[in-house]
């Protein structure tokens, strides 16, 4: 009963109920080779069974912070011929407000034995009434030393005075036989569905060791007891939660709702009525979370995929390369112009499971054949589940490039020449007057075996570069990006290059780059037009090491760049 409207102890004692007498321990010979042992603990029990706390305990309204315990014993546990047929712990309590409609704010009084929570997990009852909760007592708890230390955790969900309850008694009942026959093995359970479950599933439990269920070869039957947590934070018997009282190995989906936890207890009983310890299998259903990844369906971009939860798109940008490094060449930076946008597909923990590239080849102003690749730090080819590249509608499964032990390198375009639409009229692609062909779509799908920390792989576009098809070591990277393990570092500081390993890379002494990332769509220079002529503001931007002229790409010179008329 909620403290706001709790009865006083005086009112409770005026009811017609008479509390049980002192502790009772009895053994009854059932005249069939079995015995039934009962032991009742109440307010009148004495040490070692029960030491009454001051002002709370049995026969007192007690609340959070007034938890207490007691001890049952079974002296016959020391007899190796004692085999248990059934064992229950029944606790009678008053005003236990465990009704499910309270949600997690209800009165939930947990019962544990020898420090281990029992099932159904808590006392069950309704406001202002006496109720009896029966727990199946595992035989191992009894036979290990014959002592069972029971503990009551009152109002587990509050750490202040809110709900109160009182107990009448705790009754241990053990039926046992004196026999050399052994009890059946604890069942080995397999459940369907395995792992994630949702409210459209039927729940079925199967016995994996049914063909070898008893050490004596005795026939075995199985008893099923089902529990469910419909929002109170602990499982209770299914019928107490308003469900069907299931006694078989299946719960139909019509009984199941999102957000619930279902648990089945299975006990094996052999032909001598000896019982095993209980075995359990549990299904947890997310709250409107079909894949049970902890992200609700409304917030999950992949509601039916527990390995993926969110799309994370980069800003669409343009990459441009000059292929004559370490010489400056014509310095038109249109030997490859490719748009790109990345999607980092993350799991529920924020780790990257998949990287998708969507882009298009805008221009190819190169005579030499080059490839286009991306290096991903923080992971390696050993962590790749699959890579798929699609160029202009032609899909291909590819492998990570070999020779890299500390990063993952993917060749997106193995030959830009063969990927572009060669024309009899134009020797290049979209870099000359009148050449206005459709861009060529490019996508890449990279899936990791184990999700990767996004801090390890960095930000899009990661480390993109081109390389000479006929000379793989001749890599061209964005300024201040690192070469890969296959780069020919002997070309550093030759020609116009001023790369310093560990310092500035892929720039001239003046700071002019061989590759650019422009954070927008971009009109590249015409063929053989120096980029400084097409975009004069780039010179100050480059030579100030990006400190000035940050919008250089927005001021083209008419007639100097493709479609800049």
DSSP, collapsed to helix, strand or coil, labels residue 189 as strand
- In the structure, what pLDDT confidence band is assigned to residue 188 with cuts at 50, 70 and 90? very high
CB 118 within 8 A of CB 260: no
Of 186, 188, 229, nearest in space to 207 by CA: 188
Question: Would the pLDDT of 126 be above 80?
Answer: yes
Does residue 139 carry a pLDDT above 90? yes
As given in the structure block, the two tokens for residue 368 are 């030499």
| Rounded alpha-carbon distances, angstroms, from residue 23 to 27, 40, 152, 189, 296 | 14, 5, 18, 39, 51
The mean pLDDT value for 500-518 works out to 96
Q: Is 298 in a helix, a strand, or coil?
A: helix
The per-residue pLDDT for 562 is 95
Q: What b/e sequence results for 426-444 when a residue is b if at least 16 CB atoms lie within 10 Å of its CB, and e otherwise?
A: bebbbbbeebeeebbebbb
Joined tokens for residue 404: 């890299």
Dihedral sign computed on CA atoms, order 22, 25, 29, 30:
positive
The two three-digit tokens of residue 134, written as one number: 């029966």
∠ CA 387-421-529 to the nearest 5 degrees?
Answer: 105
The yes-or-no verdict on residue 355 having pLDDT over 60 is yes
**Model confidence at 248: pLDDT above 80:** yes
Task: Output the pTM of the full model.
Answer: 0.64
Asked if residue 163 has pLDDT above 60, the reply is yes
**pLDDT band, very low/low/confident/very high, at 10 (cuts 50, 70, 90):** very low
* CB contact at 8 A, 363 and 431: yes
Provide the pLDDT for residue 253: 94
Whether residue 520 contacts residue 358, with contact meaning beta carbons closer than 8 Å, is answered with no
Residue 205: pLDDT over 60: yes
Sheet with 236-237, strands from edge to edge, namely 236-237, 220-229, 261-270, 279-284
Residue 20 has what pLDDT?
36
Is the pLDDT confidence value at 13 over 60?
Answer: no
Residue 386 tokens, joined: 């699959």
- Tell me the per-residue pLDDT of 267-316, one tens digit each, with 9 for 90 and over: 999 999 999 999 999 998 877 787 878 898 899 999 889 899 999 999 99
Euclidean distance between the first and the last CA atom of the chain, given in angstroms as a whole number: 83
Would you say 148 and 114 are in contact if contact means Cβ atoms under 8 Å apart?
yes
Provide the pLDDT for residue 288.
77
Q: What is the chain's mean pLDDT, rounded?
A: 92
Token code pair at residue 62: 């007690």
User: Which residue segments constitute the domains of the chain, with CATH numbers given?
Assistant: 3-178 (2.60.120), 189-284 (2.60.40), 317-554 (no CATH)
Confidence of residue 540 (pLDDT cuts 50, 70, 90): very high
Q: What is the mean pLDDT of residues 23-31?
A: 93
Question: What is the spatial distance between Cα 107 and Cα 95, in angstroms, rounded to a whole number?
Answer: 9
493 or 423: which carries more pLDDT confidence? 493
pLDDT of 15 > 60? The answer is: no
Q: What is the pLDDT of residue 494?
A: 98
Q: Which residue has the higher pLDDT, 199 or 311?
A: 311
pLDDT for residue 421 is more than 80: no
User: pLDDT higher for 227 or 200?
Assistant: 227
- CA 553: distance to chain centroid? 43
Residue 9 has pLDDT above 60, yes or no: no
pLDDT of residue 565: 80
Reported confidence tier of residue 424, pLDDT bands at 50, 70, 90:
confident
């Amino acid at each position: 009963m909620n403290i706001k409207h709790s009865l006083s102890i005086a009112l409770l004692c005026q009811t017609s109920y008479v509390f049980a007498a002192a502790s009772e321990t009895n053994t009854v010979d059932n005249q069939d080779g079995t015995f039934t042992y009962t032991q009742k603990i109440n307010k009148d029990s004495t040490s070692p069974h029960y030491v009454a706390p001051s002002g709370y305990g049995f026969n007192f309204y007690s609340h959070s912070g007034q938890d207490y315990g007691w001890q049952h014993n079974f002296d016959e546990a020391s007899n190796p011929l004692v085999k248990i047929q059934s064992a229950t712990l029944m606790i009678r309590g008053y005003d236990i407000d465990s009704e499910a409609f309270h949600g997690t704010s209800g009165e939930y009084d947990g019962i544990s034995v020898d420090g281990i929570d029992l099932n159904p997990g808590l006392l069950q009852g309704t406001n202002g009434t006496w109720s009896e909760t029966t727990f199946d007592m595992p035989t191992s708890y009894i036979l290990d030393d014959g002592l069972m230390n029971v503990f009551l955790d009152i109002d587990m969900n509050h750490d202040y005075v809110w709900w109160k309850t009182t107990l009448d008694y705790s009754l241990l009942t053990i039926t046992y036989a004196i026999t050399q026959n052994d009890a059946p093995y604890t069942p080995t359970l397999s459940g369907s569905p395995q792992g994630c479950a949702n409210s459209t599933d039927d729940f079925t439990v199967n016995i994996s060791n049914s063909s070898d269920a008893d050490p004596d070869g005795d026939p075995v039957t199985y008893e099923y007891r089902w529990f469910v947590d419909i929002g109170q934070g602990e499982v209770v018997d299914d019928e107490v939660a308003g469900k069907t009282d299931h006694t078989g190995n299946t719960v139909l989906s019509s009984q199941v709702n999102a957000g619930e936890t279902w648990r089945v207890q299975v006990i094996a009983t052999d032909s001598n009525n000896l019982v095993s310890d209980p075995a359990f299998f549990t299904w947890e259903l997310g709250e409107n979370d079909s894949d049970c990844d902890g992200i609700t369906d409304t917030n999950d971009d992949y509601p039916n995929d527990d390995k993926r939860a969110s799309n994370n798109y980069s800003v669409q940008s343009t990459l441009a390369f000059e292929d004559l490094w370490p010489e400056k060449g014509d310095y038109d930076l249109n030997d490859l112009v490719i748009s790109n946008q990345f999607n980092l597909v993350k799991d529920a923990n924020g780790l990257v499971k998949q990287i998708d590239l969507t882009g298009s080849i805008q221009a190819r102003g190169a005579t030499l054949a080059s490839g286009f690749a991306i290096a991903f730090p923080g992971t390696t080819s050993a962590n790749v589940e699959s890579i798929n590249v699609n160029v202009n509608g032609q899909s291909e499964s590819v492998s990570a490039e070999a020779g890299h032990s500390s990063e993952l390198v993917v060749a997106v375009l193995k030959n830009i020449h063969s990927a572009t639409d060669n024309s009899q009229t134009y020797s290049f692609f979209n870099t000359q007057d009148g050449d206005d062909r459709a861009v060529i779509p490019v996508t890449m799908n990279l899936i990791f075996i184990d999700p990767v920390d996004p801090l390890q792989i960095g930000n899009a576009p990661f480390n993109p570069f081109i390389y000479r098809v006929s000379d793989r070591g001749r890599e061209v990277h964005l300024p201040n990006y690192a070469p890969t393990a296959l780069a020919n570092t002997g070309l550093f500081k030759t020609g116009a290059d001023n790369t310093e390993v560990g310092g500035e890379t892929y720039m001239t002494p003046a700071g002019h780059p061989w590759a650019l990332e422009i954070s927008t769509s971009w009109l590249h220079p015409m063929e053989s037009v120096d980029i400084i002529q097409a975009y004069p503001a780039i010179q100050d931007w480059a030579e100030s090491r990006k400190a000035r002229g940050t919008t250089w790409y927005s001021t083209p010179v008419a007639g100097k760049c493709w479609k800049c008329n």
